[in-house]
Amino acid sequence: MKKIAISIGDLNGIGIQLALENHEAIKKVIDPLYCIDSTMLKQASELLNISIPSDFKTVKKIAKTFTIEPAKVTKESGVYSFASFLKAVELSKTQEVDGIMTLPIHKKAWELAGVSFKGHTDALREFFFTPAIMMLGSPKMYVALYTEHIPLQEVSQEVQDVQKLSEFLIDFYENIVENLKENEQIGLLGLNPHAGDDGVLGNEEIQINEARDLAHKSIGKKIYTSPLVPDVAFTPNSRKYHRYFVAMYHDQGLAPLKALYFDEGINISLNLPITRTSVDHGTAFDIAYKNVQLNNLSYLNAIGYFVTT
């Protein structure tokens, strides 16, 4: 059974409730170590009126304790959630755990705390000096994002960087090749409406094709499709042939993914020396600490990923 460090996320949100409510279920498939100290855990459990399981293993010290303020964005919660994440990474680097699972943080709280990273994936790139790849989805469909948290106006410039895009395509293939079926192709999305209509609606598909050709030369076979028309790439007919897709920008890939598989989707960081998964939802401040029954499918799937890899 793998030992997994679970960073607790923003304690003003729903992460700690997910951890407490689902401990009995996940301990059957992994050995969880929660990156929270006993003082903050006790405070959260009392606010939630959820008892702490006797075998709920925590760490001694994370960061300065603070008063939980349900559904509020605070510097203190940002400091603590980032420290919890750092602890999980440290445990993985020293091989005290077999992987890390991250509960949702609030990006503004990180900013208030002076954290320069926009999210977990950005931080992991710097921690491990490697271009981590963000892939989201479920066993039915996965989407990798070429660009992530950047303004839309900057996407075109990134897409036209043929060398960078080709390296991304090579890295992505090498990280999922063992999961591909024989002759299965990865759906590569175009950027423009109608995939540019032969240049009538944009020329970025020329660079996408060039990057694709470079990647195929390195890989030694044709694994990526020609740039797919984005508005039909995720139709039922297309998904008969493709389980893995590469989107050029954040919403291009995640809007259809969440429309189809919102409740069960997870976030996986590829191209790293460690395995990291996460839920594919946020802190849900609107229901935090309100005695609301949480949908735990994303959380359980994120934990379950360690069992299948």
Q: Which CATH architecture fits 133-271?
A: 3-Layer(aba) Sandwich (3.40)
Q: Which carries the bigger pLDDT value, residue 2 or residue 200?
A: 2
- Reference 34, options 45, 24, 43, 23; nearest CA is 23
Sign of the CA dihedral 133, 6, 77, 251?
positive
Proportion of the chain above pLDDT 70, given as a percent = 100
- Reference 70, options 299, 298, 290; nearest CA is 290
Domain 1-131+273-309: CATH class, spelled out = alpha beta
Separation CA 118–CA 120 (nearest Å): 7
Q: C-alpha distances in angstroms, 84 versus 6, 28, 51, 105, 136?
A: 8, 23, 21, 10, 22
Q: What is the pLDDT of residues 27-59, one digit of tens each?
A: 999 999 999 999 999 999 999 999 999 999 999
Binding residues for substrate: 120-121, 258, 267, 276
Binding residues for a divalent metal cation: 149, 194, 250
Q: C-alpha distances in angstroms, 270 versus 83, 136, 204?
A: 22, 10, 26
Indicate left, alpha or beta for 90 from its phi (over 0: left) and psi (-120 to 50: alpha): alpha
Q: What is the pLDDT of residues 257-281, one digit of tens each?
A: 999 998 899 999 999 999 999 998 9
Indicate left, alpha or beta for 194 from its phi (over 0: left) and psi (-120 to 50: alpha): left
pLDDT for res 201: 87
Separation CA 200–CA 301 (nearest Å): 42
Binding residues: 120-121, 149, 194, 250, 258, 267, 276
Q: What is the pLDDT of residues 222-241, one digit of tens each?
A: 999 999 999 999 999 889 89
Q: Indicate whether 309 pLDDT > 80.
A: no
Q: Give yes or no on whether 1-131+273-309 and 133-271 have one common fold.
A: yes
Name the token pair of 224: 């990526």
Structural domain boundaries in the chain: 1-131+273-309, 133-271
